[in-house]
């Protein structure tokens, strides 16, 4: 199964406004392709041209080398199933009736469906999780339920090509994954060629293996995720700065829009804050301060530390110490400089061991220089103290002027220009 799709020089304009502009790409037989791009890039329009819903002004669409216009409507419906972005229910059909419509391309005029057709309908509803809705009216279903019913109808067509136009738009996270995994399964087991317009890049990379990035009605890039989904391409297509990285748990390429809070991009009126240490325990502090628009610096941390990854991702100044070593004179001077450049210093509720106790010496130095220092959650320090000495050092800092905060959220009142809002939250 599966069919090659070739698009050559496709052009289309609405009211003299170009939507597709010399669009060219090829989908190989059995490919699993995600169309990416900002709103208005031409993703949905391209799918509508391939599915013959609209006719382009010029250009060619070939299916296995034959022009699309060569095929009759019934032949096209046997080859190609479409899951549109939105579905309107003008008539009071049952869910089972809607799914059975997927068998119409295989039935003659006035021909009744066979037991084979009914079995295919039943399996299609089971695969898409709508069997329990079989007798319900399509008009009484939620948007997400309707989308799954239309997916069941598409499966019921037993197509060689499946076109999905923003298929997950009205679905919760569970059904998003289920629907795209179903498309992957049809591709994997039945070699169905799948082309889907997807707005969520991070969702797409979990389920597709080829990508076409559109911008201004043209193909900007096509290929594997690493070739298409790059910071440069995201910037050109979506108009936002972004970083790409491999997820530490599953290794899949991910995209994150960069919120730059360094230097002149920090929120007006927000202070510069140095956050001491890293690890997972420091992440809530770093994330909160970043969301508040603070100009951040971090350290000392090791290169494998999540705080170090956070700092590099957001292009923050950071003191990096080799693993299993103590800070040397250079590291100490870098750390002192970052703290001196900040408006305040925060010690998150991080673990303490013999290796990071020397940090307190630098903190004591900047306290003497008049720098505000805030310690979060002194109460629980014993639970994360592997040296047996941390409370002694922290209480010494308090005696010298450091301020204790009970919770990470208490930082909001310190860093917001309005003091944390009317309710202080």
pLDDT given at position 86: 74
pLDDT given at position 116: 96
What residues pair up with 320 in beta bridges, in sequence order? 301
Q: Model's pTM, two decimal places?
A: 0.71
pLDDT given at position 167: 87
The pLDDT > 70 percentage for the chain reads: 94
Instruction: Report d(CA 3, CA 79) in Å as an integer.
Output: 8
Which tens digit of pLDDT belongs to each residue from 53-105? Answer: 999 999 999 999 999 999 999 999 999 999 998 777 667 899 999 999 999 99
The helix or strand, by DSSP H or E, that contains position 309, with its residue range, turns out to be helix 306-313
Region 369-385: mean pLDDT is 94
- DSSP 8-class letter at 172: -
**Residues whose CB falls within 8 Å of the CB of residue 229, separated by 6 or more in sequence, listed in order:** 36, 201, 205, 211, 213, 244, 253, 255
The better pLDDT of the pair 158, 2 is held by 158
Residue whose C-alpha is closest to residue 53's, from 29, 78, 80: 80
In angstroms, how far is the first alpha carbon of the chain from the final one? 58
Instruction: Report d(CA 141, CA 24) in Å as an integer.
Output: 38
Domain with CATH 3.40.50.450 in the chain: 263-415
What rounded mean pLDDT belongs to the chain?
89
Domain with CATH 3.40.50.300 in the chain: 5-256
**Residues whose CB falls within 8 Å of the CB of residue 223, separated by 6 or more in sequence, listed in order:** 210, 211
Which tens digit of pLDDT belongs to each residue from 228-241? Answer: 999 899 999 999 88
The beta-carbon contacts of 328-337 under 8 Å, at least 24 apart in sequence, are 331/300, 332/358, 332/362, 334/299, 335/299, 335/300, 335/359, 335/362, 336/362, 336/365, 336/366
| Domain 5-256 indexed as CATH 3.30.70.20 | no
- Return the CATH fold of 263-415: Rossmann fold (3.40.50)
């Amino acid at each position: 199964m599966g069919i090659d799709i070739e698009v050559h020089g496709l052009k289309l304009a609405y009211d003299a406004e170009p939507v597709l502009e010399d669009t060219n790409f090829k989908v190989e037989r059995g490919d699993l392709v995600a169309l990416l791009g900002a709103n208005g890039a031409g993703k949905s329009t391209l799918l509508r041209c391939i599915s013959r819903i609209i006719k382009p002004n010029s250009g060619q669409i070939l299916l296995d080398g034959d022009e699309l216009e060569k095929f009759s409507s019934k032949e096209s419906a046997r080859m190609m199933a479409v899951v549109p972005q939105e579905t309107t229910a003008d008539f009071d059909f049952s869910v089972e009736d809607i799914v059975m419509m997927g068998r119409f391309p295989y039935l003659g005029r006035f021909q009744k469906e066979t037991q084979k057709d009914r079995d295919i309908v039943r399996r299609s509803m089971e695969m898409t999780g709508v069997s329990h809705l079989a007798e319900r009216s399509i008009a009484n279903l939620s948007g997400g339920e309707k989308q799954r019913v239309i997916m069941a109808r598409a499966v019921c067509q037993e197509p060689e090509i499946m076109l999905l136009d923003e298929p997950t738009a009205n679905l919760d996270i569970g059904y998003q994954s289920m629907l795209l995994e179903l498309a992957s399964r049809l591709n994997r087991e039945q070699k169905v060629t799948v082309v889907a317009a997807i707005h969520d890049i991070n969702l797409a990379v979990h389920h597709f293996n080829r990508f076409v990035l559109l911008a201004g009605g043209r193909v900007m890039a096509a290929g594997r995720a690493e070739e298409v989904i790059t910071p440069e391409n995201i910037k050109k297509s979506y108009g936002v700065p972004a970083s790409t990285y491999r997820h530490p748990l599953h290794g899949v390429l991910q995209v994150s829009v960069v919120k730059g809070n360094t230097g002149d991009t920090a929120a007006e009126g927000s202070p510069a804050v140095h956050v001491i240490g890293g690890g997972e325990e420091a992440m809530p502090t770093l994330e909160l301060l970043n969301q508040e628009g603070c100009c951040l610096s971090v350290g000392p941390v090791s290169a494998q530390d999540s705080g170090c990854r956070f700092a590099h991702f957001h292009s923050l100044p950071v003191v990096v110490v080799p693993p299993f070593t103590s800070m040397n004179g250079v590291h100490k001077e870098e750390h002192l400089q970052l703290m001196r450049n900040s408006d305040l210093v925060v010690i998150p509720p991080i673990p303490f061991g013999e290796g990071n106790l020397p940090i307190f010496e630098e903190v004591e130095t900047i306290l003497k220089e008049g720098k505000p220092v805030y310690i979060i959650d002194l109460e629980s320090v014993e639970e994360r103290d592997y040296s047996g000495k941390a409370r002694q050092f922290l209480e010494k800092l308090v005696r010298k002027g450091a301020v204790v905060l009970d919770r990470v959220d208490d930082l909001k009142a310190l860093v917001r220009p309005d003091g944390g809002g009317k309710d202080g939250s």
